[in-house]
Amino acid sequence: MTRATLIDDISDVDEVEEVPLSQQPEWADVTPLEQQDGGYPLCPIAYTDSYKELMGYMRAVMAAGEISKRAYSLTSQVIEENPAHYTVWVYRKRLVTELSLDIEAELEWLSDIAAMHPKNYQPWHHRQVLVAMLLEPQQLDETHPVIRRELRFLANAIDEDSKNFHAWSYRQWLVQRYDLWTQEGFFVDAMINQDVRNNSAWNQRYFVLVRSNRDSKVDEQKVREEIEYSLEMIKRAPNNESPWSYVVGMLLRHAPEMLHAELLPRIQRMAEESETAQAMQASPFYWSALVDVYETQAMLQDGVRDEMITLAREACAALATDHDPTRMKYWEFRSSTLKV
C-alpha cells in the first residue's frame, strides 16, 4: 500500500466516522432522548453537538434495554468522548456479558483507553471485571498467560507513573485474588530499590506483609526482618518519610513493645554515627519517631510513664522550634495531649 493510498483510506474512515448517527440507516429506528435538566438548570454543561447526539442515542438504547452490537459500538464512541461516564461502562459490561463477546479483544481495546486516561477509575474497574470473568480465583502463578500479561501491563503503567493509585489498587486486587504474594514481594523490593522515596511501593510492601499472613499476627522474626530492611533504607535517605512511617506504623500495630526495646537504640546509634548523624539529627521524621516511641512506652509500662512523657514532650519541642517549625502548632498540640 502506497502512502497516498493510506492517506486516502484514512480520509475515508474519518469521513464515515463524522457522519451523524441521525443520518446513518442503522439508527433510523431509534428516537434519541434528550438530557432532562429542567426548565432552569443552575449550571448547564456546554456539551458539543456531537456528544449531545451520541448521548441522545445512548439514552434511548439504554432505556429500551437493547442488547446489540450497535449498542456496544455506541458505548465505544461515548467512552472515547467521555471515559469517566460510569453508567455507560456498566452498560458496556452488560453488553460484553450478554452478547458473549471476546474478552481478550475487549482487554486489548481497554489497554488503549487506559493508556490515554491512566488516572481514570472506570477503565481500571472494567479491567478487573473482565479478568475476573476470564479466570476463577484458584491457585495460579505468574506463569499463567493472563496473569503474566496483566503483571506486564501493570509494570508498564507503574513505570509510566509510579504513584498511579488506580494501577496499585488493581495490582492489589490481582495479587490477592490469585495468590501472587511471593512474586509481589520481589516486585516491591525492586521498586523500592529503584526509588526509595516511592511511598506507593512502601504502601504495597505493608499490604504484602499483612495480607499475605491472611491478616493474622505477623511473627516476630518477620518483624525483625522488616526493621532491618527499613533501617537500611533510612540510611540511604534519612529525610525520606516513607521508611520511617512504614517501620513505626508496622511496629505500632504488630509489635509495639519493640519500638522502645529494638527500634529506639538502633535509630539513636544511627544518629550518633559519623555517616548518618548530621542527616538523622536534622530529619523531622527521626524526632517524630521518638515522640511515637516514648508515648507508646509510657502507655505500655507504668513505671517509666513520667520519664517517657517528658522525653516525648522534649522531642515535640525540638520539632516545633528546630526541625519542623512549619507545623509548630501541630507539635504544640501533640505535646499538650501527652498526659503525665
Active site residues: 119
Q: Taken in order 175, 177, 180, 185, is the CA torsion positive or negative?
A: positive
Cell numbers linked to 272 = 550518633
Residues 6 or more apart whose Cβ sits within 8 Å of residue 89: 75, 79, 122, 125, 126
Residue 207 · residue 188 · CB < 8 Å: no
79 closest CA partner among 123, 21, 16? 123
Torsion sign across C-alpha atoms 119, 122, 128, 130 = negative
CA distances from 168 to 52, 141, 155 (A): 35, 19, 10
Q: Tell me how crowded residue 22 is: count the other CB atoms within 10 A of its CB.
A: 12
